[in-house]
Amino acid sequence: MAAYLLLVGVPVMGLLGILEAGRGIPAPLSIGGEWAIESDPTANCANPPGSLQRQLAWSISQSGTEALITLHDGHAATLEATIDGSTLTAKSPSGTIAATIAGKLGKRTMEGKISLVGCAPVAFRAVRQTPGKRGE
């Protein structure tokens, strides 16, 4: 009985302490899921890249402070992004994104500038449609 209390009871109390301590830990803002873009990032393009004529959506796969933005451009071009507080920065051969994340969890938005290859930087606003399933 004493061994049981020591080996099971004490760790269970410890676990409850861990759960309590962890409540205050801040986590990166959630941005994973499908997003709709409320402006045309290819508006200032001299030569719109590939089939990217009117980029209207992207999806994001997030793991903590790292994220992978997949453009719905027919080629599924990807940009690796990092999240620092409410700031998102993404860079890849396809282009760059610098944005500020805002809004509550259910109504997350993003505002900033996107610069795709062959296009001048353009301001955009994006709204998350659904957090969506992960790993897809």
Partner 1 sequence: MLDLFHLVLQIAVILVAARLVGFLFQKIHQPQVMGEMVAGILLGPSLLGWLVPGVSAALFPPASLSYLNALSQVGLVVFMFVVGLALNPSDLHGYGHAAVLTSHVSIVAPFCLGGLTALYLYPRLSDDGVTFTGFALFMGAAMSITAFPVLARILTERGLLRSRMGTMAIACAAVDDVTGWCILAYIVVLVRVTHAARPAWVTIAGSLAYVLIMVFVVRRILPAFEREFRKRDRLSDNLVAVIVVLVLVSALATEWLGIHLLFGAFLMGAIMPKTQEFTHYLLHKFESVTVVLLLPLFFAFTGLRTRIGVGGGRAIWLYSAIVIVVAITGKLGGSMFAARLAGMPWREAASLGILMNTRGLMELVILNIGLDIGVISPAMFSIMVLMALVTTFMTTPLLEWVYPTRLLRAQMDAVHKNVA
**Binder among 57, 68, 117, 122 for partner 1 (CB under 8 A):** 68
Task: Give, in order, the Cα–Cα distances in Å from 1 to each of 10, 11, 13, 21, 58.
Answer: 13, 15, 17, 29, 58
Q: Does 28 bind partner 1 (CB under 8 A)?
A: yes
- Specify the residue, 63 or 87, whose C-beta has the smaller distance to partner 1: 63
Token representation of residue 86 = 């409410």
**Of the candidates 103, 27, 35, the residue with the CA atom closest to the CA atom of residue 64:** 27
Q: Does 65 bind partner 1 (CB under 8 A)?
A: yes
Q: Give min distance, CB of 19 to partner 1, in A.
A: 5
Q: Does 27 bind partner 1 (CB under 8 A)?
A: yes
Give the alpha-carbon dihedral of 62, 98, 69, 93, to 10 degrees: -130
In the complex, the residues that contact partner 1 under the rule CB under 8 A are 3-4, 7-8, 11-12, 14-15, 18-19, 21-23, 25-32, 61-66, 68, 76, 80, 105, 131, 133-136
